[in-house]
Amino acid sequence: MKRTFIVLSTVGMQVLLCTVGVRFISAAGPQEVATTNWSIYGISEGLSPADSLCGVMSVYIVAREFGFDNSYEAVLAKMPPGIYGNTMKQIVEYFRNNFSLQVIPIRCNAKELYRELSKANDQRAIINLNDHWVVVRDVTDDTFEIIDFPRKYFMPIDAIDNLWEGHTVIIRRQSSSSIVHRYSIRILFFLIFGVIMIILHTWIFAREKRESE
C-alpha cells in the first residue's frame, strides 16, 4: 500500500510540474496558436494533459513522426519519470535503445538550435522549456513550431531563449554515410584484432619451435 502511494505521488507530482510548465510557457505569449489533429499520432481524442507526462509524450510524438509504431504506454513503461520528471539521459537512452535514429544531446542557445534544425527538414528536437519537455517540429522565419500536447504554437527565437537553459536532444534519421562510417569502424577493429592474433599466434609457434629444438 505504501509503495503504491509513493508511485501515485510521484506521477501526481510530475503531472503538476508539467501543468505548471505549460502555464509559464503560456504566460510568455506564443505568437500564434494552432490546433492539431492528434489522431495522426495515434493519440485518443479523450486523452487529457492530466493523463500525460510531458517527457514521455514528447518522445512518443517524435517516434510517431519518424514512422515508428509504438504506444504512449510502451514509452512510459520503459522510461518512467522520477519525482521531477524525465531526465535528458532517459530520453537519449530510450531513442538509442529502441530506434535506428541518430540522437544528439547538446546544450546550445536558440539561434544555434535554429541554424541546426534549418539544415534539414527530417529532424526534430526535444527541449526543456521551464522544466517542461516539448517538441520542436520545425523552424521558419526565426520562429519555432512547438508541439506541446494538447497544443501546437509558434514562438520566436528570443522568447525561447528567455524560457530555456539550452538543454536539447536532436533526433534525425541516420544518413547512409553515418551508417557506413559506423560499420567501417567495426570492420577496421576486427581487422586489427585479427592481425594482432595472427602475429601473436606466429610468435608463440616460433618460440615453442625453438624450445623444442
**pLDDT value, residue 14:** 47
Residue-wise pLDDT for 79-123, tens only, equals 998 888 899 999 999 999 999 899 999 999 999 999 988 887 788
Confidence at residue 119, expressed as pLDDT on a 0 to 100 scale: 86
Of 7, 128, 1, nearest to 58 by C-alpha is 128
- Model confidence at 176, pLDDT cuts 50, 70, 90, reads very low
What is residue 98's predicted lDDT score, i.e. its pLDDT? 92
Please classify residue 68 by burial: count the beta carbons closer than 10 Å to its beta carbon, then call 0-12 exposed, 13-18 middle and 19+ buried.
Answer: middle
**Cis peptide bond prior to 150, omega within 30° of 0:** yes
pLDDT at 138: 81
Residue 16: pLDDT above 90?
no
**CATH top class, domain 2-174:** alpha beta
The more confident residue out of 194 and 106 is 106
Q: Where are the domains of the chain?
A: 2-174, 176-213
User: pLDDT tier at 183 (50, 70, 90 boundaries)?
Assistant: very low
- Residue 186 — very low, low, confident or very high, per pLDDT cuts 50/70/90? low
Q: Among 19-28, 37-46, 49-58, which stretch is predicted with the lowest mean pLDDT?
A: 19-28
Asked if pLDDT for residue 44 goes beyond 70, the answer is no
Q: Which residues contact 73 (CB under 8 A, 6 or more apart)?
A: none
How many whole angstroms separate alpha carbon 124 and alpha carbon 171?
5
> For position 36, what pLDDT does the model report?
56
Q: Using pLDDT thresholds of 50, 70 and 90, give the confidence band for residue 152.
A: confident
How would you write the chain as a 3-class SS string? CHHHHHHHHHHHHHHHHHHHHHHHHHHCCCCEEECCCHHHHCCCCCCCHHHCCHHHHHHHHHHHHCCCCCCHHHHHHHCCCECCECCHHHHHHHHHHHCCEEEEEEECCHHHHHHHHHCCCCEEEEEEECCCEEEEEEEECCEEEEEECCEEEEEEHHHHHHHEEEEEEEEEECCHHHHHHHHHHHHHHHHHHHHHHHHHHHHHHHHHHHHHC
Each residue of 17-38: pLDDT tens digit? 454 444 444 444 554 444 455 5
